[in-house]
A and B are shown apart, each in its own frame.
Chain A
Amino acid sequence: MKVRVDITLKPGVLDPQGEAVRHALGALGFEGVNGVRQGKVIVLDLATDDEQAALAQASQMAEKLLANQVIENFTVTAI
């Protein structure tokens, strides 16, 4: 089954890329964009069909490699 890992910067960590996107949106005339935070989505295709096992496995992968928990949070979702 497939599991989606969403990786986002922790609150309070400055996101220079998000800020640049926010400025560009303003330059395009989009008003009222108070903030932009950029993250990553990683889709894992796992051999197991057991949802709990798949989510547990994906969490371990995120902790060990996919996310840097010094600056990033992650969530895992079965899709």
Chain B
Amino acid sequence: MKAAVITFPGSNCDRDMHVGLQRATGIAPQSVWHKDTSIPEGLDLIAVPGGFSFGDYLRCGAIAARAPVMNAVVDFAKRGGLVLGVCNGFQILIEAGLLPGALMRNAGLKYVCKAQTLRVATHDSAFTAGLGDTATYAIAHHDGNYIADDEELARLMGEDRIAFTYEGNPNGSQMDIAGILSENRRVLGMMPHPERMNDPALGGTDGERFFNGLVGALETA
């Protein structure tokens, strides 16, 4: 699997994403800078990492979503490329219009940072096909409270596009939503960080299964 990781000013999980992908694929992912106007050829996956791009100014992810590289990312997604957005990356993908809804300030108004158990709500995607029924990843966010109107929520439910839900809602998200898929199931946005639960030293290895599962799904596809 050929992957790239995008770095914005303020990204801080790009390195973890890099390590997660490299361990699973055996190949170092390419690094793409936010000012690049094109992406490397022949990619299978683009990862938009967590962090605080542009200092969370205006709205989380709003400025990054309009960065030069994002036109290429949107084109890649529309051509059926796999795009993974984690935490701030999820916020960026929503702001870029690749995923529906919005991520608001946590209902408890506090930054939440802990290991979080999730229910894998669908196995019908390259990202989730290799997972069990639950997974524990790290969460670390202030604005992860997912909201969408009733019509959108019904669509997400009806089309089986809710990828992960929280066991014990940490942020007020509607329907406990922790991650969602695009219509073509090739774009995943999620608040929890598999790349930060990728080594026993970090408190768990469920993230390893996430990346290995993704590589496995691509190999069998």
Chain A residues with CB below 8 A from B95, complex form: 68
Task: Say yes or no: is B145 at the interface (Cβ < 8 Å to chain A).
Answer: yes
Q: Please name all residues of chain B whose beta carbon is closer than 8 Å to the beta carbon of A17 when the two chains form the complex.
A: 105, 109
Determine chain B's interface SS by DSSP, over half rule. loop
A65: B residues at CB distance < 8 A? 58, 62, 66
Asked if A16 and B102 sit within 8 Å, CB to CB, the answer is no
Query: Is B145 touching A68 in the complex (CB atoms < 8 A)?
Result: no
Least CB distance, A18 to chain B, in whole angstroms = 10
Judging by beta carbons under 8 Å apart, are A16 and B104 in contact?
A: yes
Contact B105 A68 (CB under 8 A): no
- Is B107 a contact partner of A16 (Cβ separation < 8 A)? yes
CA distance A20 to B105 in the complex (A): 12
**A66 interfacial contact with B, CB 8 Å:** yes
**CB neighbours of B107 from chain A (8 A):** 14, 16
Instruction: Identify 15 residue pairs between A and B in the complex whose beta-carbon atoms are under 8 Å apart, listed by A's number.
Output: A14-B107, A14-B147, A16-B104, A16-B105, A16-B109, A17-B105, A20-B109, A64-B66, A65-B58, A66-B58, A68-B102, A70-B100, A70-B101, A70-B148, A71-B104
Interface residues in chain B, defined as those with a beta carbon under 8 Å from any beta carbon in chain A:
58-59, 62, 66, 95, 100-102, 104-109, 145, 147-148, 172
Q: Can you name 20 extra interface pairs (CB under 8 A) apart from A17-B109, A64-B66, A66-B58?
A: A13-B147, A14-B104, A14-B107, A14-B147, A14-B172, A16-B104, A16-B106, A16-B107, A16-B108, A16-B145, A17-B105, A20-B109, A65-B58, A65-B62, A65-B66, A68-B62, A70-B100, A70-B102, A71-B102, A71-B147
